[in-house]
Homo-oligomer: A and B are copies of this chain.
Amino acid sequence: MTERTYHHGNLRAALLERAWDVVDAKGSDALSLRQLARDVGVSHGASARHFRDKQALLDALAVEGFERLNGSLAEAVTGEHPFADRFRAAGDAYVSFAVRHPAILRTMYTAKHHAAASTELVEVSHVAMPALVALITAAQDAGELPAGSAEEAAVVAFAAVHGVATLATDDLLNGFPWQHATAVTITSVWRGLASAGSSQPAP
């Protein structure tokens, strides 16, 4: 399959795969379209047929990142385990992804900022939150969490986990291994959610 034909066959996939590795290893700043073309064995203008921009390539990379992350999260959440365990598993999966692919995670969340992000990117980046809302709602229905706004609870939980993830990739966990920091955070958040009910937060 290494024969050099005029048409590559599936350049798009090859570019994405190589770009993933480069970004994952050296960060998105180190990604060069021309070098990428050389790596894949194609001329420097070829990528334009599949990705208008460099930003478009990064967007596609971000989409792939979200898809993989969403997959891990979905896998962690499904099952018959107690809600607290599934909750914990989801957090672990999130932080684990962040620690393994920090540069990709960064690319995922910076790609959205470039004004005209593809609708696909926006959609795939919003998948996790409703899933978390559903999990919390189910826990509330089962009586493991007190009734209340599941949306608010989901934002709190998501923020905490996302925070640990980014802190872990930035060496700001004060020396704690990320597994420990994640466990402690999730436990604390779960406790905070479980003990809600007395009063609304004062504005």
Number of copies: 2
Q: Which of B152, B167, B190 contacts A184 (CB 8 A)?
A: B152
Chain-B contact segment, one of A5-13, A135-143, A193-201: A193-201
CB-CB under 8 A from A156, the residues of chain B are: 160, 181, 184-185, 188-189
Least CB distance, A191 to chain B, in whole angstroms: 5
Least CB distance, A188 to chain B, in whole angstroms: 4
On whether the beta carbons of A191 and B196 are closer than 8 Å, the reply is: yes
Q: Which of B160, B161, B162 contacts A189 (CB 8 A)?
A: B160
Least CB distance, A50 to chain B, in whole angstroms: 22
On whether the beta carbons of B174 and A159 are closer than 8 Å, the reply is: no
On whether the beta carbons of A109 and B164 are closer than 8 Å, the reply is: no
Report 14 cross-chain contacts, Cβ distance below 8 Å, ordered by A residue: A113-B169, A125-B170, A155-B167, A156-B181, A158-B163, A158-B172, A159-B163, A159-B181, A159-B185, A160-B163, A162-B167, A183-B203, A188-B189, A191-B191
List chain A positions with a Cβ less than 8 A from chain B.
Answer: 27, 102-103, 106, 109-110, 112-113, 125-126, 129, 151-156, 158-164, 166-167, 169-174, 176, 179, 181, 183-193, 195-196, 201-203
Q: Which 10 A-B pairs have the closest CB atoms?
A: A163-B163, A192-B192, A159-B163, A188-B192, A187-B201, A162-B163, A159-B164, A160-B160, A191-B192, A183-B201
